Amino acid sequence: MDRTTSSPTPQSIPRGNPSLPVVGQAKPQKPPYARPIEVGLRSIHIASMALVLGGIPMGGTFETLRVPIVATLASGLLLLAACMRWGCFNLTQGAGWALLLKLGLLGLGNVFEGARLQCYLAATVVASVGSHMTSSWRHFTFPARTIRPAGKSGPRAA
């Protein structure tokens, strides 16, 4: 066997868009300014949500809580966008499912005004658990189901 010709290594094979992660490649590195931005956004998000959560039992209305509500929404959306951009968050993983459950509880709180405080408290608990659960749970990816097009069927049982 001739050892002068070598097969291409995985590093020498060109891949598609370099900004998108490829299976088998290392996780993209966050820029050096990412951590301070995440910490700042998360701090704003927690403080503004605390104002909303504390204002509700004190009789706060949408009008009186408008600033902390907007700050909560804006900081949450910016934090989600930053984490997804820097590759540290995926909606199909455990933390993503916790986020979707949290958003569902917040939505229920808006629909059922009498249970708003309870729904918001439950959303806060889900968010806390989702952020602090073990890495294996936080990054657990749920298996995808195969969906067949209409009119197509799989193997039939005899």
Range of the domain at 71: 32-88
Count how many domains the chain has: 2
Q: Is residue 128 part of a domain?
A: yes
Q: What integer pLDDT is reported at residue 83 of this predicted model?
A: 83
Q: pLDDT digit string (tens) for 9-67?
A: 545 444 444 444 444 445 667 888 888 999 999 999 999 999 999 999 999 999 999 99
The pLDDT of residue 133 is above 50: yes
Q: Is residue 153 part of a domain?
A: no
User: Does 129 share its domain with 83?
Assistant: no
Block residue for tokens 């195969």: 146
Residues 6+ apart with CB under 8 A from 52: 60, 65, 68, 69, 72, 120
User: Mean of the pLDDT values across residues 97-125?
Assistant: 94
Q: Is residue 129 part of a domain?
A: yes
Kindly state whether residue 16 falls inside one of the protein's structural domains.
no
Q: At which residue do the structure tokens 């986020």 appear? A: 99
Domain match, 38 and 82 both: yes
- Dihedral, CA of residue 107, residue 108, residue 110 and residue 114, to nearest 10: -160
Is residue 100 in some structural domain?
Answer: yes
Assign 150 a pLDDT band (cuts: 50, 70, 90): low
Q: Considering the domain boundaries, does residue 56 fall inside one?
A: yes
In a domain, residue 154? The reply is no
Do both 79 and 99 map to the same domain?
A: no
Helix (H, G, I), strand (E, B) or coil at 108: helix
pLDDT of 43 reads 96
Kindly state whether residue 49 falls inside one of the protein's structural domains.
yes
Nearest by Cα to 61 from 116, 125, 122: 116
Which positions ≥6 away from 154 have C-beta within 8 Å?
A: 148
Question: What average pLDDT does this structure show over 83-108?
Answer: 86
Distance CA 89, CA 81 (A): 9
Query: Are residues 82 and 40 part of one domain?
Result: yes
